[in-house]
Amino acid sequence: CDRDCVHVLSKVLRQSVRTIWHAESALHDVDVVVLPGGFSYGDYLRAGALAAKSPVMEAVRRFAEEGRYVVGVCNGFQILTEAGLLPGALLANLNLHFTCKEVGVRVERNDLPFTRLYPRGQVLRLPIAHGEGRYYADPETLARLEGEGLVVFRYAPLKDEADYNPNGSLHDIAGIVSEKGNVLGMMPHPERAVDEVLGNTDGLPFFLGLVREVAR
């Protein structure tokens, strides 16, 4: 997944990309941090729990506290919750199976760099690939997320599916953002939907909006 993210940013959008090893202690000169999907530390203990303690995460935390943009996709979302940069947790899918397929993802907000190029309410077709993607939070946290408009993406039917929620996430939550609007985590993979050759470009505006924001 890290190579997929590098591909969309460097080859498709022609941006300079630096890959940073988890044991490093500095981010150097970057505009955006992307924590990609994958299986950091083999998902031992809990998905993202060990990676959240990696040395580089202190630099990521400072970066986020400065109001700069951090994106966590799939395992990256899990790492952000384990590190306390986003609320809630990602639990095992209700079906207890690794699930890999395309799902419907509705855009709940389009006033953020990540979503500015989508109409609000648009249902995207994005791939998922996870075994621990069920978003969970206590009732108070859920109420705050909903009340403050911090749910950015929500699972939704592509057609008329009754079982469109692929993992049992509470409130059909597929992605959330921090109160400052600069740290975003999502389980679906926009980086896997950026090329016509793959038959899907629904994820491209996600990255393009972010690139345009930091280039201003």
Our measurement of the distance from residue 23's CA atom to the centroid of its chain's CA atoms, rounded to an integer in Å, reads 22
SS3 16: coil
Q: Which residue has the tokens 């592509």?
A: 158
Q: Is 146 a catalytic residue?
A: no
- pLDDT, residue 51, reads 86
Question: For residues 124 and 102, is the Cβ–Cβ distance under 8 A?
Answer: no
Q: Is 100 a catalytic residue?
A: no
- pLDDT, residue 62, reads 96
Q: Is 130 a catalytic residue?
A: no
* Residue in 1, 5, 74, 108 annotated catalytic: 74
SS3 56: helix
Question: What Cα–Cα distance (Å) separates residue 88 from each residue in 72, 94, 131, 155, 170?
Answer: 14, 17, 17, 17, 10
pLDDT in tens, the chain (216 residues): 999 999 999 999 999 999 999 999 999 889 999 999 988 877 777 778 888 889 999 999 999 999 999 999 999 999 999 999 999 999 999 999 999 999 999 999 999 999 999 999 999 999 999 999 999 999 999 999 999 999 999 999 998 888 999 999 999 999 999 999 999 999 999 999 999 988 999 999 999 999 999 988
- pLDDT, residue 41, reads 75
- pLDDT, residue 49, reads 84
Ordered DSSP codes for 173-185: EEEEE-TTS-EEE
Torsion over CA of 196, 7, 92 and 144, rounded to 10 degrees? -90
- pLDDT, residue 94, reads 95
- pLDDT, residue 160, reads 85
* Residue in 82, 102, 132, 191 annotated catalytic: 191
For the chain, percent helix, then strand, then coil, each to nearest 5?
A: 30, 25, 45
- pLDDT, residue 128, reads 98
* Residue in 5, 82, 108, 189 annotated catalytic: 189
